[in-house]
Amino acid sequence: MPQSYAITAEAIQAERSRVDNDLDKFDAANVIKLDELVLPELGPKDVHFRVLVVSVEHNIDHAVLADTVNITELRGGKIYPGNSAVGEVVKVGDQVTRFKPGDVVITHCNGEPDIYGYPKRIWAYDKPESIGWYGQEAVVEDWQLIPAPLDCGLNLWEIAALPLRAPTAYHLWRRALGILRLKIDRENLARLNVLGFGGGVSELFLMLARHEGHRAFFCSGSAERREHLEEQGIEPIDQKKFNRFASSGDVKGFSKEVKKLTDGEGIHIVCDMLRGAVFPAGLAALSRQGVNVSAGWQLGQKISYDSALLSVKQVTLDHTHYDTVVGCNACTELYGVVFKPTVHKEIYTFAELPRAVREMHHNTQTGIPIVQVAEDLPASVKSLAV
């Protein structure tokens, strides 16, 4: 029987009690544990695939902590997480024409499109009955898979870093740019100032901006990530120089620095993703007519702002989620051309996945964490595993 990682409400409760709800002491590795999984029968539209490589996504941190909602409890007490994977097709149902055994695929996690195509539910998170891909094998309907762009110039680990984060960034960028252009057209302003705060989604967002000729600024606490982005022409700002915006003085200092870097103009588009102390810093850095977009709330779910001030500056706040299925497919065309993600220096084994989640929680990784699930990689990807 294939093995798969599971999170149980019982394990969350036990770990929260152990640390007396002090999330700094919380050990995710005590919550995400190996389990056995009975795969569903192969239906006519299903694809059975072997999981090769996965990336650790931040929603796993939210799931093990139960810090947004207790998704595990809401889903009946147990979930099989993992919504970003590269796999090798083993078998297909008799109505599947897009894939055949031996094909290498990536997943997307739009679990239930709304009438406009955007997800109402995320696969292996809030989509009922969905089984995630932190396991050795999986069965899903064919629309949940995309052919892996193996000749895009990225290595296997970089490809595995993108299935969840790249579509999120792709959607955020389209939305942010569309809103900004409604207010300031290209005739008046060709080159925008774009800022993102640390993290995988933000860095991909900035790569999109940079690729389209804009000035892009990455404000992060990680020297390794700043360096990687600087090589792509993205200007670094050390967030720790401003004490991660612990006080209003730090926010003022940051805003002053940004104004200096942008000849007094400020930032036209901010990608937040974290909220908490980052939100007021992002707002302070915005130019007139600026746009702040976010699909995340890692440091806080509630935000507050001075509505009068934002009206006078004509600032727009926008909230997004994951992309449409069409958008997820389209953005793979940008793998390697635009998206060149920063990968954490260690590739974890399947057995080490809980440690990868723990280290993500403690923010000690130097890039997007990748886990090699299959020990024996197929010939088609072996040369990319470098």
Binding site for ligand NAP (CB under 6 A): 58-59, 62, 164-165, 168, 198-202, 220-222, 225, 239, 244, 273-274, 278, 295-296, 298-299, 321-322, 360, 363, 368
How far apart are the C-alpha atoms of 223 and 271, rounded to whole Å? 19
Q: How far is the CB of 358 from ligand NAP (least distance, A)?
A: 13
Q: In this structure, are residues 58 and 377 in contact, taking their beta carbons and an 8 Å threshold? A: no
Q: How far is the CB of 81 from ligand NAP (least distance, A)?
A: 12
Q: How far is the CB of 222 from ligand NAP (least distance, A)?
A: 4
For ligand NAP, the closer CB: 142 or 359: 359
Structure tokens at 208: 């999109």
User: 24-45 burial by CB neighbour count: b if 16+ within 10 A, else e?
Assistant: eebbbbbbbeeeebebeebeee
For ligand NAP, the closer CB: 64 or 295: 295
Q: What single string gives the DSSP state of each residue in 144-171?
A: GEEE--TTSS--HHHHHT-TTHHHHHHH
The residues, any chain, with a CB within 8 Å of residue 200's CB and separated by 6 or more, are 58, 161, 165, 341, 342, 367, 368
Q: How far is the CB of 282 from ligand NAP (least distance, A)?
A: 11
Nearest CA to 42 out of 179, 145, 176, 142 is that of 142
Q: In this structure, are residues 10 and 26 in contact, taking their beta carbons and an 8 Å threshold? A: no
Structure tokens at 380: 């088609």
For ligand NAP, the closer CB: 82 or 199: 199
For ligand NAP, the closer CB: 88 or 203: 203
Q: How far is the CB of 303 from ligand NAP (least distance, A)?
A: 14
Q: How far is the CB of 221 from ligand NAP (least distance, A)?
A: 3
Q: How far is the CB of 241 from ligand NAP (least distance, A)?
A: 12
Which three-class secondary structure state does DSSP give residue 378? coil
How far apart are the C-alpha atoms of 310 and 110, rounded to whole Å? 33
For ligand NAP, the closer CB: 362 or 382: 362
| Dihedral sign (CA 116, 193, 201, 65) | negative
Q: H or E element: which one contains 225?
A: helix 223-230
For ligand NAP, the closer CB: 196 or 266: 196
Q: How far is the CB of 214 from ligand NAP (least distance, A)?
A: 20
For ligand NAP, the closer CB: 273 or 384: 273
For ligand NAP, the closer CB: 285 or 360: 360
Give the end-to-end CA distance of the chain in Å, rounded to a whole number. Answer: 30
Q: What single string gives the DSSP state of each residue in 233-262?
A: TPEEEEGGGGGGG-SHHHHHHHHHHHHHHT
For ligand NAP, the closer CB: 92 or 360: 360
Q: How far is the CB of 14 from ligand NAP (least distance, A)?
A: 23
Task: State the residue for tokens 């898979």.
Answer: 145
